[in-house]
Every structure is written in structure tokens, then in C-alpha cells.
Amino acid sequence: MTERTETHGSPAPGYAARHTLPLSVEIVRQFRRRRTLVMFGLLLALPWVLVIAFKVGTGTTGQNTLRLSDLATESALNFAAFALSVSVGFLLVVAVGLFCGDTVASEASWSSLRYLLAAPVPRSRLLRQKLIVALGYSAAAVISLPLMALLAGTVAFGWDDIQVPITGEIIPAAAALPRFGIVIGYALVSQLVVASVAFLLSTTTDSPLGAVGGAVGLVIVSNILQAVEALGVLREFLPTFWNSAWLDALAPELEWGGMLKGASVSVTYSVILLALAFRRFRRKDIVS
């Protein structure tokens, strides 16, 4: 063992707070986890399961109805829109809740959090890096499902123009693709609330499932309140009220109003919740 000369209270040589916990390290730390792999596996398999379901199920529903589900087999884009519509309410919520709710709480439950903090990774930096990676995984989850659905839909139903629900109009596939980008983009923004709630809970509890469950529970409660029409205009400020506003991007005429409101509500909640998360974590006594 070698001798070393210390200067006045300086940190260890080579240490700089801004280099701690690089994103690549955090990505690797999270990626090899079983729940990450299972969740992505599920999201990527779901479109194929749906394809099989549509191929096996021969029962025809009402002939003249033009719901999203009836049009799912019309084209790859229709199919992808359908896949997104059935998963955005719950599956993607769980996925996003998982990636964002698990990230800090699981470290706490493994006790590895205190060693990271003592390394030391400054608290706000640890939270920031974890948030970026968790949001990255969430985004990957939200994007991977419709993309895989596009692929599965193309293989199963062909690359055709999209038929719009309700009016039954046809939008050329080339014109619909940017619209589809808007749909995915909005789905990402609208899940920000779930991500932030899960992240805030993640910093306050040592139980990863508690954080995920709390976020999912909030979505459920919000959905229930949404059904109470007596709440009137107040419902517009529920975090899940605008979750299906992306359907406007598939309407014959692109309508931004709902998505703007939804994005506004979502961003508002997330900014406050994330600020609370950072504040809490900064002051918290780590006893796990």
C-alpha cells in the first residue's frame, strides 16, 4: 500500500461532482434488471398477441360501426392506433410508473442508495441522473409499443392508408405518419404526470411496489373522478382527463386544442411534483 500526501481538505484526486453517476452507468444498472426486460418483452409482444387475436377471432361485429377496434385490421397505421388506444390507459401507465417509481425506491430497498450517496454522488445530481434515465426508459416503452405495432400491422395487414374512426375517411399513409408522430409525442407528454407521481413516491418510500402502486392508484382515482360529471369543468384539471386527446391527431382535421390543454395540465403537475421530489430528497434523512 502506497503513501499519499494530502492537501488541505481537498477531495480525492480525480473526483468531481459533475462526473459522478454517469448516465451510461445508470442505464446499465437498470437495464439488466428482470422487471425492465419483462416489461419491454411484454410491450413488444403485445402487438403480436393482438395480431393473433384478430386473425383467430373471425366474429364480425356490427358491420357499419366505425370504431377504432373495428378498423384495426384495415392497415398497419389503424392497427398501431388501436394498439396504442388499448394500452395507453393502463399498460403504459404501469410501464411508466414502474420505470419512474422503482428507480430510487429499489436502491433504497437494496441499501445501495447510501453507498451511492456516500461515494459521494450529490443528492440532486443522483436524482437528476436517475430521473433522466427513468424518463428515457419510459419514453422507450411508450415508443416501442406503437412502433412494434406498426411493424406487426404491416406484416399482418399491409401498409395501407389509415381509415379515420367515426367518419370513416381515408388519410394517405404518408400524410398520416407525421400525425402518428404527434400521437406518440402526446402520449409521452401525457404520461409525464404518472412519471412524476411515481418519482415523487419513489423518493419518499423504500418500497418500489408502493411507489408504482401509488402512481397507478392515482390514475385509477383520477379516472373514477373523471366519470363524475357533476364536477363539471373541474374535471379538465384531473391529470388523466385529456389522456385520450391524441385521438384528435387522427381526426380528419388536426385539432390541437385538447392536446394543448392536456399537455398544459400534465406539465403543470409534473413540474410541481418533481420540484417536491427534489426538495424532499434533498432534506431527507436516508435511513434505509
Contact string 178-217 vs another protein (x = CB under 8 A): ----------------------------------------
Q: Does 19 bind another protein (CB under 8 A)?
A: yes
Least distance in Å: CB of 204 to another protein?
Answer: 12
Among 53, 55, 114, 221, binds another protein (CB under 8 A): 114
Nearer to another protein, 21 or 150 (CB): 21
Q: Using CB under 8 A, which residues numbered 46 to 65 contact another protein?
A: 63-64
Q: Is 182 left (phi over 0), alpha (psi -120 to 50) or beta?
A: alpha
Cα distance between residue 268 and residue 48, in whole Å: 36
Stretch that binds another protein, among 41-49, 92-100, 136-144, 266-274 (CB under 8 A): 266-274
* 286 C-beta neighbours (distance < 10 Å), count: 14
Cα distance between residue 125 and residue 48, in whole Å: 40
Nearer to another protein, 46 or 198 (CB): 198
Segments of the chain assigned E as strands: 162-163, 170-171
Among 40, 42, 125, 151, binds another protein (CB under 8 A): 125
Q: How far is CA 253 from the centre of its chain?
A: 27
CA atoms in the 13 A half-sphere facing the CB of 75: 16
Least distance in Å: CB of 182 to another protein?
Answer: 13
- Residues with Cβ within 8 Å of 34's Cβ and at least 6 positions away in sequence, in order, are none
Among 49, 119, 132, 221, binds another protein (CB under 8 A): 119
Among 34, 57, 58, 60, binds another protein (CB under 8 A): 34
101-130 burial by CB neighbour count: b if 16+ within 10 A, else e? bbbbbbbbbeeebeebeeeebebeebbebb
Q: Does 174 bind another protein (CB under 8 A)?
A: no
Least distance in Å: CB of 192 to another protein?
Answer: 11
